[in-house]
Structure 1
Amino acid sequence: MPIKRAVKSRVLPHGRSMRRLPVGLGRGLRMGVDFQRGETRLYLGLYEVELNRHLRRIAKPGYRSFDIGGQYGYDALVLAKLTGAPVLSVESEPELAVEIRENAAANPGLPSIEVVTGFVSDDAAGDHVTIDDLAAEHFVPDLIKLDIEGGEVAALRGAARVLEDRRPAIQLEVHGKEIEWECLAILRAAGYEPPTVVDRRRWLPEHRPIDHNRWLIFEG
Protein backbone atom coordinates (compact mmCIF):
# COMPACT_ATOMS: atom_id res chain seq x y z
CA MET A 1 0.00 0.00 0.00
CA PRO A 2 1.49 3.41 -0.95
CA ILE A 3 2.56 5.54 2.03
CA LYS A 4 0.08 8.35 1.23
CA ARG A 5 -2.83 5.92 1.10
CA ALA A 6 -1.72 4.18 4.29
CA VAL A 7 -1.50 7.47 6.20
CA LYS A 8 -4.91 8.52 4.90
CA SER A 9 -6.45 5.20 5.94
CA ARG A 10 -5.07 5.40 9.49
CA VAL A 11 -5.46 9.12 10.25
CA LEU A 12 -8.75 10.18 8.65
CA PRO A 13 -12.13 9.07 10.04
CA HIS A 14 -13.82 6.17 8.28
CA GLY A 15 -17.35 6.21 6.89
CA ARG A 16 -19.79 8.89 5.83
CA SER A 17 -21.24 11.07 8.59
CA MET A 18 -23.08 14.37 8.75
CA ARG A 19 -20.69 17.24 9.39
CA ARG A 20 -21.02 21.00 9.39
CA LEU A 21 -18.69 22.54 6.82
CA PRO A 22 -16.37 24.90 8.73
CA VAL A 23 -15.00 27.12 5.96
CA GLY A 24 -15.46 28.16 2.36
CA LEU A 25 -18.50 28.87 0.24
CA GLY A 26 -20.46 26.14 2.00
CA ARG A 27 -19.61 27.27 5.51
CA GLY A 28 -22.36 26.36 7.97
CA LEU A 29 -24.01 23.80 5.70
CA ARG A 30 -24.43 20.24 6.92
CA MET A 31 -23.72 17.32 4.63
CA GLY A 32 -22.49 13.77 4.68
CA VAL A 33 -18.70 13.70 4.36
CA ASP A 34 -16.59 10.60 3.83
CA PHE A 35 -12.90 11.47 4.11
CA GLN A 36 -11.87 8.06 2.79
CA ARG A 37 -13.84 8.82 -0.39
CA GLY A 38 -11.64 11.82 -1.09
CA GLU A 39 -13.87 14.57 0.29
CA THR A 40 -11.27 16.27 2.49
CA ARG A 41 -10.97 19.16 0.02
CA LEU A 42 -14.72 19.66 0.10
CA TYR A 43 -14.73 19.77 3.91
CA LEU A 44 -11.84 22.25 3.95
CA GLY A 45 -13.49 24.58 1.43
CA LEU A 46 -11.00 23.77 -1.34
CA TYR A 47 -13.36 21.95 -3.71
CA GLU A 48 -13.33 23.82 -7.04
CA VAL A 49 -12.47 26.96 -5.08
CA GLU A 50 -11.45 28.75 -8.28
CA LEU A 51 -15.17 28.98 -9.13
CA ASN A 52 -16.31 30.66 -5.92
CA ARG A 53 -16.15 34.32 -6.95
CA HIS A 54 -17.85 33.59 -10.27
CA LEU A 55 -20.63 31.60 -8.65
CA ARG A 56 -21.22 34.38 -6.12
CA ARG A 57 -21.64 36.77 -9.04
CA ILE A 58 -24.16 34.76 -11.07
CA ALA A 59 -26.10 33.15 -8.19
CA LYS A 60 -28.20 36.21 -7.48
CA PRO A 61 -30.83 36.42 -4.73
CA GLY A 62 -34.10 34.92 -5.89
CA TYR A 63 -32.56 32.96 -8.79
CA ARG A 64 -34.06 29.48 -9.11
CA SER A 65 -31.42 26.97 -10.17
CA PHE A 66 -30.93 23.68 -11.98
CA ASP A 67 -28.01 21.62 -10.62
CA ILE A 68 -27.34 19.22 -13.49
CA GLY A 69 -24.95 16.53 -12.30
CA GLY A 70 -25.72 16.71 -8.59
CA GLN A 71 -23.16 14.16 -7.31
CA TYR A 72 -23.26 14.46 -3.48
CA GLY A 73 -25.37 17.62 -3.37
CA TYR A 74 -22.73 20.18 -2.41
CA ASP A 75 -23.50 22.45 -5.36
CA ALA A 76 -27.25 22.23 -4.77
CA LEU A 77 -26.78 23.24 -1.13
CA VAL A 78 -24.52 26.15 -2.06
CA LEU A 79 -26.90 27.37 -4.77
CA ALA A 80 -29.83 27.29 -2.34
CA LYS A 81 -27.73 29.14 0.25
CA LEU A 82 -26.54 31.86 -2.15
CA THR A 83 -29.85 32.49 -3.93
CA GLY A 84 -32.36 31.82 -1.18
CA ALA A 85 -34.48 30.13 -3.88
CA PRO A 86 -35.47 26.57 -4.87
CA VAL A 87 -33.01 24.22 -6.57
CA LEU A 88 -33.71 21.22 -8.80
CA SER A 89 -30.83 18.74 -8.70
CA VAL A 90 -30.53 15.99 -11.33
CA GLU A 91 -28.27 12.99 -10.72
CA SER A 92 -28.01 9.83 -12.83
CA GLU A 93 -26.81 7.48 -10.06
CA PRO A 94 -29.62 6.47 -7.69
CA GLU A 95 -27.27 6.06 -4.71
CA LEU A 96 -25.98 9.60 -5.09
CA ALA A 97 -29.52 10.93 -5.55
CA VAL A 98 -30.32 9.45 -2.14
CA GLU A 99 -27.31 11.28 -0.66
CA ILE A 100 -28.49 14.58 -2.13
CA ARG A 101 -31.90 14.12 -0.52
CA GLU A 102 -30.30 13.29 2.82
CA ASN A 103 -28.05 16.34 2.64
CA ALA A 104 -30.99 18.57 1.75
CA ALA A 105 -32.98 17.18 4.69
CA ALA A 106 -30.05 17.97 7.01
CA ASN A 107 -30.42 21.68 6.15
CA PRO A 108 -34.07 22.48 6.90
CA GLY A 109 -33.42 26.22 6.86
CA LEU A 110 -32.61 26.21 3.14
CA PRO A 111 -35.14 26.65 0.33
CA SER A 112 -36.46 23.43 -1.21
CA ILE A 113 -34.02 21.15 -3.01
CA GLU A 114 -35.87 18.67 -5.21
CA VAL A 115 -33.99 15.71 -6.67
CA VAL A 116 -34.64 13.95 -9.99
CA THR A 117 -32.86 10.71 -10.87
CA GLY A 118 -32.02 10.51 -14.56
CA PHE A 119 -29.66 11.34 -17.40
CA VAL A 120 -29.96 14.82 -18.89
CA SER A 121 -29.80 14.68 -22.67
CA ASP A 122 -31.51 15.92 -25.85
CA ASP A 123 -34.33 13.37 -25.70
CA ALA A 124 -36.61 11.98 -23.02
CA ALA A 125 -36.46 8.27 -23.87
CA GLY A 126 -36.20 5.80 -21.00
CA ASP A 127 -34.44 7.29 -17.99
CA HIS A 128 -33.31 10.34 -19.98
CA VAL A 129 -34.73 13.82 -19.42
CA THR A 130 -34.27 17.16 -21.13
CA ILE A 131 -33.78 20.53 -19.53
CA ASP A 132 -36.79 21.83 -21.45
CA ASP A 133 -39.00 19.07 -20.04
CA LEU A 134 -37.67 19.64 -16.51
CA ALA A 135 -38.48 23.33 -16.86
CA ALA A 136 -42.02 22.54 -18.02
CA GLU A 137 -42.60 20.17 -15.09
CA HIS A 138 -40.87 22.11 -12.30
CA PHE A 139 -39.80 25.71 -13.05
CA VAL A 140 -37.85 27.68 -15.63
CA PRO A 141 -34.36 28.19 -14.18
CA ASP A 142 -32.58 31.51 -13.86
CA LEU A 143 -29.27 29.67 -13.42
CA ILE A 144 -28.00 26.32 -14.68
CA LYS A 145 -24.95 24.53 -13.29
CA LEU A 146 -23.97 21.79 -15.74
CA ASP A 147 -21.35 19.12 -15.01
CA ILE A 148 -22.15 15.75 -16.58
CA GLU A 149 -18.79 14.34 -17.69
CA GLY A 150 -18.99 14.77 -21.46
CA GLY A 151 -22.76 15.01 -21.92
CA GLU A 152 -22.78 18.80 -22.11
CA VAL A 153 -23.61 19.14 -25.80
CA ALA A 154 -26.66 16.86 -25.68
CA ALA A 155 -27.88 18.60 -22.52
CA LEU A 156 -27.71 22.03 -24.17
CA ARG A 157 -29.45 20.73 -27.29
CA GLY A 158 -32.28 19.64 -25.02
CA ALA A 159 -32.57 23.13 -23.55
CA ALA A 160 -33.52 25.09 -26.68
CA ARG A 161 -36.72 26.60 -25.25
CA VAL A 162 -35.14 27.56 -21.93
CA LEU A 163 -32.12 29.13 -23.60
CA GLU A 164 -34.31 31.13 -25.99
CA ASP A 165 -37.05 32.19 -23.57
CA ARG A 166 -35.16 32.79 -20.33
CA ARG A 167 -31.47 32.82 -21.26
CA PRO A 168 -30.34 31.73 -17.77
CA ALA A 169 -26.89 32.27 -16.34
CA ILE A 170 -24.79 29.14 -16.87
CA GLN A 171 -21.84 27.54 -15.12
CA LEU A 172 -20.68 24.93 -17.63
CA GLU A 173 -17.89 22.42 -17.06
CA VAL A 174 -16.48 21.15 -20.36
CA HIS A 175 -14.67 17.86 -20.87
CA GLY A 176 -12.69 18.18 -24.10
CA LYS A 177 -11.88 20.81 -26.75
CA GLU A 178 -14.41 19.61 -29.31
CA ILE A 179 -17.15 19.55 -26.68
CA GLU A 180 -16.26 23.11 -25.71
CA TRP A 181 -16.45 24.29 -29.32
CA GLU A 182 -19.85 22.67 -29.83
CA CYS A 183 -21.20 24.14 -26.58
CA LEU A 184 -19.96 27.59 -27.56
CA ALA A 185 -21.66 27.29 -30.95
CA ILE A 186 -24.99 26.31 -29.35
CA LEU A 187 -24.88 29.14 -26.83
CA ARG A 188 -23.69 31.71 -29.34
CA ALA A 189 -26.65 30.81 -31.57
CA ALA A 190 -28.91 31.29 -28.53
CA GLY A 191 -27.65 34.85 -28.11
CA TYR A 192 -25.09 34.44 -25.34
CA GLU A 193 -22.07 36.70 -25.14
CA PRO A 194 -18.56 35.13 -24.96
CA PRO A 195 -18.04 33.50 -21.57
CA THR A 196 -15.58 34.02 -18.77
CA VAL A 197 -13.16 31.08 -18.98
CA VAL A 198 -11.99 29.60 -15.69
CA ASP A 199 -9.03 27.23 -15.81
CA ARG A 200 -8.01 24.71 -13.19
CA ARG A 201 -5.88 26.08 -10.38
CA ARG A 202 -2.20 25.21 -10.37
CA TRP A 203 -1.79 25.24 -6.59
CA LEU A 204 -3.05 22.08 -4.85
CA PRO A 205 -4.59 20.92 -8.14
CA GLU A 206 -7.33 18.32 -8.18
CA HIS A 207 -6.65 15.19 -10.20
CA ARG A 208 -8.46 15.23 -13.54
CA PRO A 209 -8.38 12.33 -16.05
CA ILE A 210 -8.46 14.53 -19.18
CA ASP A 211 -6.28 17.45 -20.26
CA HIS A 212 -8.92 19.92 -21.45
CA ASN A 213 -11.25 20.28 -18.48
CA ARG A 214 -12.36 23.76 -17.44
CA TRP A 215 -15.40 25.97 -16.87
CA LEU A 216 -17.27 28.51 -18.98
CA ILE A 217 -19.29 31.13 -17.11
CA PHE A 218 -22.16 32.80 -18.99
CA GLU A 219 -23.89 35.79 -17.43
CA GLY A 220 -27.20 35.14 -19.17
Structure 2
Amino acid sequence: MNLPLNYLVRSYLRWCPITDGKRLLLNLTRNLITPEDPITVFDTKYGFRLKANLANPEHQYLYFYGTHDERHVVTKLLKMVQPGDICWDIGANIGFYTCFLASRVEESGVVVAFEPAVRTCGYLSENVSLNRFANVTVVNKGLSDRIEQRPLYYAEAGLAEGTASLKYVNSRSVSERVTLDTIDNLIRELPVPDFIKIDVEGYQLEVLRGGEHCLKTHAPLLMAELKDVGETNRDTFAEIEEYVTDLGYQLYEIRKYSLRRCKKLSDAPKRNFFLVKEQSRAFSRILPWLRC
Protein backbone atom coordinates (compact mmCIF):
# COMPACT_ATOMS: atom_id res chain seq x y z
CA MET A 1 0.00 0.00 0.00
CA ASN A 2 1.24 3.49 -0.87
CA LEU A 3 0.83 5.32 2.46
CA PRO A 4 1.36 8.91 1.23
CA LEU A 5 -1.12 8.36 -1.61
CA ASN A 6 -3.55 6.69 0.80
CA TYR A 7 -3.44 9.76 3.06
CA LEU A 8 -3.91 12.22 0.20
CA VAL A 9 -6.78 10.39 -1.48
CA ARG A 10 -8.67 9.66 1.73
CA SER A 11 -8.27 13.27 2.89
CA TYR A 12 -9.63 14.51 -0.43
CA LEU A 13 -12.56 12.08 -0.40
CA ARG A 14 -13.46 13.06 3.15
CA TRP A 15 -13.05 16.82 3.17
CA CYS A 16 -13.24 18.28 -0.32
CA PRO A 17 -16.73 19.84 -0.77
CA ILE A 18 -16.66 19.18 -4.53
CA THR A 19 -18.10 15.69 -5.03
CA ASP A 20 -17.69 15.42 -8.82
CA GLY A 21 -14.87 13.06 -9.72
CA LYS A 22 -14.43 11.49 -6.28
CA ARG A 23 -15.68 8.07 -7.36
CA LEU A 24 -13.41 8.11 -10.43
CA LEU A 25 -10.41 9.07 -8.30
CA LEU A 26 -11.09 6.22 -5.90
CA ASN A 27 -11.54 3.70 -8.70
CA LEU A 28 -8.23 4.74 -10.26
CA THR A 29 -6.27 4.51 -7.01
CA ARG A 30 -8.12 1.83 -5.02
CA ASN A 31 -5.58 -0.97 -5.63
CA LEU A 32 -2.73 1.30 -4.52
CA ILE A 33 -4.31 2.62 -1.33
CA THR A 34 -6.23 -0.36 0.07
CA PRO A 35 -4.51 -2.03 3.07
CA GLU A 36 -3.27 -5.57 2.45
CA ASP A 37 -4.96 -6.82 5.61
CA PRO A 38 -8.72 -6.35 5.13
CA ILE A 39 -9.33 -6.25 8.89
CA THR A 40 -8.37 -2.71 9.80
CA VAL A 41 -9.04 0.06 12.31
CA PHE A 42 -9.48 3.63 11.08
CA ASP A 43 -10.66 7.09 12.11
CA THR A 44 -13.99 8.45 10.89
CA LYS A 45 -14.85 12.09 10.21
CA TYR A 46 -16.74 12.31 13.50
CA GLY A 47 -14.03 11.65 16.05
CA PHE A 48 -14.58 7.94 16.66
CA ARG A 49 -12.78 4.89 15.27
CA LEU A 50 -14.08 1.72 13.63
CA LYS A 51 -12.77 -1.78 13.11
CA ALA A 52 -14.07 -3.14 9.81
CA ASN A 53 -13.57 -5.78 7.13
CA LEU A 54 -12.55 -4.10 3.87
CA ALA A 55 -13.58 -7.19 1.92
CA ASN A 56 -17.08 -5.77 2.47
CA PRO A 57 -17.80 -2.89 0.02
CA GLU A 58 -19.90 -1.07 2.65
CA HIS A 59 -16.96 -1.09 5.05
CA GLN A 60 -14.63 0.08 2.28
CA TYR A 61 -16.83 3.14 1.81
CA LEU A 62 -16.56 3.92 5.52
CA TYR A 63 -12.78 3.51 5.38
CA PHE A 64 -12.21 5.79 2.40
CA TYR A 65 -14.85 8.46 2.99
CA GLY A 66 -14.90 8.39 6.79
CA THR A 67 -18.69 8.41 6.82
CA HIS A 68 -21.68 6.33 5.78
CA ASP A 69 -22.90 6.35 2.19
CA GLU A 70 -26.17 7.72 3.64
CA ARG A 71 -24.43 11.05 4.19
CA HIS A 72 -27.62 13.11 3.86
CA VAL A 73 -29.08 11.13 6.77
CA VAL A 74 -25.98 11.78 8.84
CA THR A 75 -26.04 15.55 8.22
CA LYS A 76 -29.65 15.71 9.47
CA LEU A 77 -28.88 13.65 12.57
CA LEU A 78 -25.98 15.94 13.46
CA LYS A 79 -28.58 18.58 14.38
CA MET A 80 -31.54 16.41 15.38
CA VAL A 81 -29.86 14.19 17.98
CA GLN A 82 -29.11 16.08 21.18
CA PRO A 83 -27.09 15.57 24.37
CA GLY A 84 -29.07 13.50 26.87
CA ASP A 85 -31.14 11.69 24.23
CA ILE A 86 -31.95 8.00 24.46
CA CYS A 87 -31.41 6.34 21.08
CA TRP A 88 -32.05 2.81 19.85
CA ASP A 89 -30.10 1.51 16.86
CA ILE A 90 -32.03 -1.45 15.42
CA GLY A 91 -29.88 -3.29 12.90
CA ALA A 92 -26.63 -1.77 14.11
CA ASN A 93 -24.21 -3.80 11.96
CA ILE A 94 -20.62 -2.97 13.01
CA GLY A 95 -21.71 0.22 14.76
CA PHE A 96 -21.22 3.31 12.62
CA TYR A 97 -24.57 4.79 13.68
CA THR A 98 -24.19 3.42 17.20
CA CYS A 99 -20.87 5.23 17.68
CA PHE A 100 -22.12 8.32 15.87
CA LEU A 101 -25.18 8.53 18.13
CA ALA A 102 -23.11 7.82 21.25
CA SER A 103 -20.85 10.75 20.43
CA ARG A 104 -23.87 13.03 19.87
CA VAL A 105 -25.84 12.16 23.04
CA GLU A 106 -22.66 12.49 25.15
CA GLU A 107 -22.30 11.02 28.63
CA SER A 108 -25.76 12.16 29.72
CA GLY A 109 -27.44 10.13 26.97
CA VAL A 110 -27.86 6.44 26.22
CA VAL A 111 -27.59 4.32 23.08
CA VAL A 112 -28.95 0.77 22.86
CA ALA A 113 -27.66 -1.14 19.82
CA PHE A 114 -29.33 -4.29 18.49
CA GLU A 115 -27.52 -6.68 16.15
CA PRO A 116 -28.66 -10.31 15.75
CA ALA A 117 -25.69 -11.79 13.80
CA VAL A 118 -23.06 -13.17 16.19
CA ARG A 119 -19.94 -12.22 14.20
CA THR A 120 -21.29 -8.81 13.26
CA CYS A 121 -22.25 -8.19 16.88
CA GLY A 122 -18.63 -9.01 17.75
CA TYR A 123 -17.46 -6.14 15.54
CA LEU A 124 -20.11 -3.90 17.10
CA SER A 125 -18.98 -4.69 20.65
CA GLU A 126 -15.33 -4.17 19.70
CA ASN A 127 -16.08 -0.78 18.20
CA VAL A 128 -17.97 0.34 21.28
CA SER A 129 -15.02 -0.76 23.45
CA LEU A 130 -12.49 0.76 21.04
CA ASN A 131 -14.07 4.17 21.60
CA ARG A 132 -14.70 3.63 25.32
CA PHE A 133 -18.37 4.49 25.03
CA ALA A 134 -19.73 3.82 28.51
CA ASN A 135 -23.18 5.05 27.41
CA VAL A 136 -23.80 2.19 24.95
CA THR A 137 -25.54 -1.13 25.61
CA VAL A 138 -25.10 -3.84 22.96
CA VAL A 139 -27.89 -6.42 22.61
CA ASN A 140 -27.28 -9.53 20.48
CA LYS A 141 -30.87 -9.74 19.26
CA GLY A 142 -33.00 -8.77 16.31
CA LEU A 143 -36.36 -7.01 16.60
CA SER A 144 -39.69 -8.33 15.34
CA ASP A 145 -43.38 -8.51 16.24
CA ARG A 146 -42.91 -11.62 18.37
CA ILE A 147 -40.34 -13.25 20.64
CA GLU A 148 -38.84 -16.22 18.81
CA GLN A 149 -35.82 -17.65 17.03
CA ARG A 150 -35.48 -17.47 13.25
CA PRO A 151 -32.77 -17.98 10.61
CA LEU A 152 -30.89 -14.87 9.48
CA TYR A 153 -29.69 -15.10 5.87
CA TYR A 154 -26.61 -13.54 4.32
CA ALA A 155 -24.32 -14.12 1.35
CA GLU A 156 -20.99 -14.85 3.03
CA ALA A 157 -19.93 -15.59 6.58
CA GLY A 158 -17.52 -13.16 8.19
CA LEU A 159 -18.21 -10.07 6.07
CA ALA A 160 -20.55 -8.45 8.63
CA GLU A 161 -22.99 -7.69 5.83
CA GLY A 162 -25.41 -4.82 6.21
CA THR A 163 -27.76 -6.63 3.83
CA ALA A 164 -28.27 -9.72 6.01
CA SER A 165 -32.00 -10.38 6.28
CA LEU A 166 -34.57 -12.44 8.13
CA LYS A 167 -36.26 -12.93 4.75
CA TYR A 168 -34.73 -15.48 2.39
CA VAL A 169 -33.67 -14.52 -1.12
CA ASN A 170 -31.61 -16.60 -3.56
CA SER A 171 -28.46 -14.50 -3.21
CA ARG A 172 -28.29 -15.22 0.54
CA SER A 173 -27.33 -18.87 0.98
CA VAL A 174 -25.72 -18.81 4.45
CA SER A 175 -27.79 -18.64 7.62
CA GLU A 176 -27.63 -18.71 11.41
CA ARG A 177 -30.39 -18.89 13.98
CA VAL A 178 -30.88 -15.65 15.86
CA THR A 179 -33.01 -14.48 18.76
CA LEU A 180 -35.78 -11.95 18.13
CA ASP A 181 -37.58 -9.71 20.62
CA THR A 182 -40.04 -6.81 20.43
CA ILE A 183 -39.70 -3.11 21.20
CA ASP A 184 -42.69 -3.25 23.53
CA ASN A 185 -41.22 -6.11 25.54
CA LEU A 186 -37.78 -4.53 25.78
CA ILE A 187 -38.96 -1.13 27.04
CA ARG A 188 -39.96 -2.90 30.24
CA GLU A 189 -36.25 -3.15 31.10
CA LEU A 190 -34.53 -0.64 28.80
CA PRO A 191 -34.85 3.17 28.71
CA VAL A 192 -37.66 4.46 26.50
CA PRO A 193 -36.16 5.91 23.29
CA ASP A 194 -36.43 9.48 22.03
CA PHE A 195 -35.07 8.35 18.66
CA ILE A 196 -35.06 4.97 16.89
CA LYS A 197 -33.04 4.10 13.79
CA ILE A 198 -34.33 1.03 11.89
CA ASP A 199 -32.36 -0.78 9.18
CA VAL A 200 -33.59 -4.36 8.98
CA GLU A 201 -33.65 -5.37 5.30
CA GLY A 202 -37.26 -6.32 4.62
CA TYR A 203 -38.43 -6.75 8.23
CA GLN A 204 -39.52 -3.15 8.80
CA LEU A 205 -43.23 -3.89 9.23
CA GLU A 206 -42.61 -6.60 11.82
CA VAL A 207 -40.33 -4.31 13.85
CA LEU A 208 -42.91 -1.51 13.81
CA ARG A 209 -45.75 -3.85 14.81
CA GLY A 210 -43.67 -5.10 17.71
CA GLY A 211 -43.42 -1.53 19.01
CA GLU A 212 -47.05 -0.46 18.67
CA HIS A 213 -47.51 0.46 22.34
CA CYS A 214 -44.22 2.42 22.41
CA LEU A 215 -45.08 4.29 19.20
CA LYS A 216 -48.59 5.12 20.40
CA THR A 217 -47.59 6.14 23.92
CA HIS A 218 -44.15 7.72 23.59
CA ALA A 219 -44.07 8.83 19.91
CA PRO A 220 -40.29 8.67 19.37
CA LEU A 221 -38.75 10.13 16.23
CA LEU A 222 -37.93 7.34 13.77
CA MET A 223 -35.42 7.11 10.95
CA ALA A 224 -35.99 3.99 8.89
CA GLU A 225 -34.80 2.46 5.66
CA LEU A 226 -38.27 1.59 4.38
CA LYS A 227 -37.19 0.64 0.86
CA ASP A 228 -34.48 -2.01 0.72
CA VAL A 229 -31.75 -2.05 -1.89
CA GLY A 230 -33.43 -3.51 -4.96
CA GLU A 231 -36.80 -2.89 -3.26
CA THR A 232 -37.07 -6.54 -2.20
CA ASN A 233 -39.78 -5.48 0.27
CA ARG A 234 -41.97 -3.76 -2.36
CA ASP A 235 -44.90 -6.04 -1.46
CA THR A 236 -45.10 -4.44 2.02
CA PHE A 237 -44.94 -0.75 1.00
CA ALA A 238 -48.70 -0.22 1.24
CA GLU A 239 -48.92 -2.10 4.56
CA ILE A 240 -46.08 -0.08 6.10
CA GLU A 241 -47.64 3.17 4.96
CA GLU A 242 -51.07 2.24 6.28
CA TYR A 243 -49.71 0.98 9.58
CA VAL A 244 -47.64 4.05 10.46
CA THR A 245 -50.29 6.54 9.36
CA ASP A 246 -52.88 4.71 11.47
CA LEU A 247 -50.55 5.32 14.43
CA GLY A 248 -50.47 9.03 13.60
CA TYR A 249 -47.02 9.10 12.00
CA GLN A 250 -46.16 11.01 8.84
CA LEU A 251 -43.36 10.00 6.45
CA TYR A 252 -40.71 12.47 5.32
CA GLU A 253 -38.36 11.63 2.48
CA ILE A 254 -34.72 12.56 3.09
CA ARG A 255 -33.32 14.89 0.41
CA LYS A 256 -29.88 16.50 0.20
CA TYR A 257 -30.83 19.78 1.88
CA SER A 258 -34.35 19.12 3.15
CA LEU A 259 -37.09 16.73 4.18
CA ARG A 260 -40.16 16.39 1.99
CA ARG A 261 -43.52 14.94 2.97
CA CYS A 262 -43.93 11.55 1.30
CA LYS A 263 -47.33 11.13 -0.32
CA LYS A 264 -46.84 7.56 -1.52
CA LEU A 265 -44.01 5.30 -0.40
CA SER A 266 -43.86 3.28 -3.62
CA ASP A 267 -43.33 6.46 -5.69
CA ALA A 268 -40.54 7.91 -3.53
CA PRO A 269 -37.08 7.67 -5.16
CA LYS A 270 -35.23 7.53 -1.82
CA ARG A 271 -34.79 4.61 0.59
CA ASN A 272 -34.60 6.40 3.94
CA PHE A 273 -37.33 8.31 5.74
CA PHE A 274 -37.96 10.15 8.97
CA LEU A 275 -41.25 9.24 10.64
CA VAL A 276 -42.76 11.62 13.17
CA LYS A 277 -46.07 12.57 14.75
CA GLU A 278 -46.83 16.20 14.03
CA GLN A 279 -48.33 16.75 17.50
CA SER A 280 -45.31 15.25 19.28
CA ARG A 281 -42.31 16.96 20.85
CA ALA A 282 -40.13 15.23 18.28
CA PHE A 283 -41.70 17.23 15.44
CA SER A 284 -39.72 20.33 16.38
CA ARG A 285 -36.52 18.46 15.54
CA ILE A 286 -37.39 18.11 11.86
CA LEU A 287 -38.90 21.60 11.38
CA PRO A 288 -35.67 23.27 10.16
CA TRP A 289 -35.47 20.76 7.32
CA LEU A 290 -39.06 20.79 6.10
CA ARG A 291 -39.97 21.60 2.53
CA CYS A 292 -43.50 20.98 1.33
- When the two structures are superposed, what TM-score results if normalisation uses the length of structure 2? 0.63
Aligned equivalents of 1:57, 1:186: Cα separation in 2 = 28
- 5 Å-filtered alignment, 1:120-159, equals 120-126=143-149, 127-159=179-211
Residue 83 of structure 1: which of 97, 100, 105 is its match? 105
Q: Paired residue for 2:175?
A: none
Residue 101 of structure 1: which of 114, 125, 138 is its match? 125
* Contact 1:70–1:91 (Cα < 8 Å) also in 2: yes
Shift of the alpha carbon at 1:213?
Answer: 5.8
In structure 2, give the amino acid aligned to 1:20: D
- 5 Å-filtered alignment, 1:1-220, equals 8=30, 11-13=33-35, 14-21=37-44, 23=45, 27-38=46-57, 39-43=59-63, 44-47=65-68, 48-84=70-106, 85-108=109-132, 110-126=133-149, 127-175=179-227, 176=231, 177-192=234-249, 194-198=250-254, 214-219=271-276, 220=282
Shift of the alpha carbon at 1:91?
Answer: 0.9
Secondary structure of the structure 2 residue equivalent to 1:138: coil
Q: How many equivalent pairs are there?
A: 202
Shift of the alpha carbon at 1:130?
Answer: 0.6
Structure 2 unaligned blocks of 5 or more: 1-25, 150-178, 257-267, 277-281, 283-292
Shift of the alpha carbon at 1:180?
Answer: 3.4
Secondary structure of the structure 1 residue equivalent to 2:103: helix
Aligned equivalents of 1:180, 1:103: Cα separation in 2 = 34
- When the two structures are superposed, what TM-score results if normalisation uses the length of structure 1? 0.81
Structure 1 unaligned blocks of 5 or more: 201-210
- 1:37-88 per-position Cα deviation (integer Å, ceiling 9, x unaligned): 2223213134211212322243122111110001111110011111221111
User: What value does the CA root-mean-square deviation take over the aligned residues?
Assistant: 2.5
Aligned equivalents of 1:173, 1:41: Cα separation in 2 = 18
* Contact 1:58–1:143 (Cα < 8 Å) also in 2: no
The structure showing larger relative contact order (alpha-carbon pairs under 8 Å, at least 6 residues apart) is 1
Change (3 A) 1:58 1:98: same
- 1:137-195 per-position Cα deviation (integer Å, ceiling 9, x unaligned): 21111110000000000000000111011100000101344433322222222222x22
CA radius of gyration, larger in: 2
**Identity of matched residues, %:** 24
